[in-house]
Structure 1
């Protein structure tokens, strides 16, 4: 975020008393949020030279807010003289000097067709109509202060250059009934059989999962297996597709084991550097009838190419 105060000039047409009041309210709110606003209702005195006010205000401002009402669009496109026409001429000249600049910010209010004046028709604009006012203001004030409403995530390294954690791949003799080689799938099995072991993936991307019974609606998952490097629990994550960074610092590490409830998610890394995320779909223990089987259902996804993101893998 920049420390220097953003300077803004508001270009608008005097459509009505209520519209002038709306512009004044917007300018007042911007001033309250630290923005230096040049506005004719404050800065243009009786006897002042109008062209000089517009020229100096537009030249000295960092950004120009163009309030695109139906009347403003009509006046700007008709090449009329007067305030709108003169400001349009100055703004157009400034745009032509730097076509890549984002100096001009069109905002839409009282605009029945959402048509922009031709001189800013290629610019991204904000909709300040009633239902969108607060969200558009949030975007406007963030942009003026150099803050991003949707910050870019940190860029990671090339996954193909990431060195594996282990030199040698661990190879298992995996029972066919307790393995699923798919990268994305849903598994149903009895966690009391095969010592609670179940394998997913294959080759370097194999994960040995270890489970045991817990309280109703939950299951123990372990971090003792030879092929598993780490087990982490994401905070406030309810879907595998939400995990865009498996190395997120907010995920807490599990040293040995933890219990997972239905709907909870875990992230594992194997010793070859691949990530897997799994979600507990259902846990069912049937202890009253000796012929019934306990059942664990979990969905999982393994990120290819040692990616840390699983948002596109489900």
Structure 2
């Protein structure tokens, strides 16, 4: 599946986690924040993407309903789907804003409950949460990424600040004896970036 993520920029915090999960499920996702670079013409990049993807996910909300961009994108996708039955348009409801008349008859996915995993499963046809997790884990393993797990932080493939590989990261832990709390995390030996949190023991 090659999917275009049509959304209003104010909905990015709700949309981005789903786009990331879809990538981990093997979907070739076109998401503007990941694809458009300084110097690119936005209409040109969007038009190019809409002409080659096979799925357009329209994230619908009050914000989207007021966006000329989103309306142009779904109208373009719907027109293309009339000429090519392999193109799918999937409305994704972010709130209770009614869908436009032309999108109402298309099977939609709801994210009004903020259940990102369920929405991702519906979009790619995975039945259980366990299968979702197994598929995402398999994608990570097959990627060949050198990643490590750090208590207090989680999985890291590299430094968020300087981009150093995971081999340049090290775990740390400290005890706050006055409060009897344990803290742990990860630091970069190359630039000093440091992140972590309290560990409950």
Is 1:68–1:117's contact at 8 Å kept on the other side of the alignment? no
Task: State the match for 2:122 in structure 1.
Answer: 139
Q: CA deviation at 1:132?
A: 4.8
| Cα RMSD after superposing both structures | 2.3
Gaps of 5+ in 2: 129-201
Q: CA deviation at 1:14?
A: 1.3
Q: CA deviation at 1:101?
A: 5.6
Task: State the match for 1:112 in structure 2.
Answer: 96
Distance 1:136 1:84, change over 3 A: closer
Task: State the match for 1:88 in structure 2.
Answer: 74
User: Secondary structure at 2:56's aligned position in 1?
Assistant: strand
Larger radius of gyration: 1
1:112-148 alpha-carbon deviations (Å, 9 max, x no partner):
34x1123322111011122654333211122xxxx6x
Is 2:19–2:31's contact at 8 Å kept on the other side of the alignment? yes
1:63-119 alpha-carbon deviations (Å, 9 max, x no partner):
1111011121233xxxx4xx2243134213213324x6660111111x234x11233
Is 2:4–2:31's contact at 8 Å kept on the other side of the alignment? yes
> CA separation in 1, counterparts of 2:78 and 2:26?
27
Distance 1:27 1:102, change over 3 A: same
Gaps of 5+ in 1: 1-5, 151-314
2:3 to 2, 5, 8: 8
> CA separation in 1, counterparts of 2:20 and 2:114?
20
Moved over 6 A (4+): none
Distance 1:44 1:131, change over 3 A: closer
Taking structure 1 as the reference length, the TM-score comes to 0.37
Distance 1:53 1:118, change over 3 A: farther
> Larger % of helix: which?
2
> CA separation in 1, counterparts of 2:122 and 2:48?
27
> CA separation in 1, counterparts of 2:86 and 2:105?
12
Q: How does 1:1-314 map to 2 (within 5 A)?
A: 6-15=1-10, 19-75=11-67, 80=68, 83-98=69-84, 103-109=88-94, 111-113=95-97, 115-130=98-113, 132-142=115-125, 149=127
> CA separation in 1, counterparts of 2:20 and 2:115?
19
Higher relative contact order (CA 8 A, sep 6+): 2
Question: What count of residue pairs does the alignment treat as equivalent?
Answer: 128
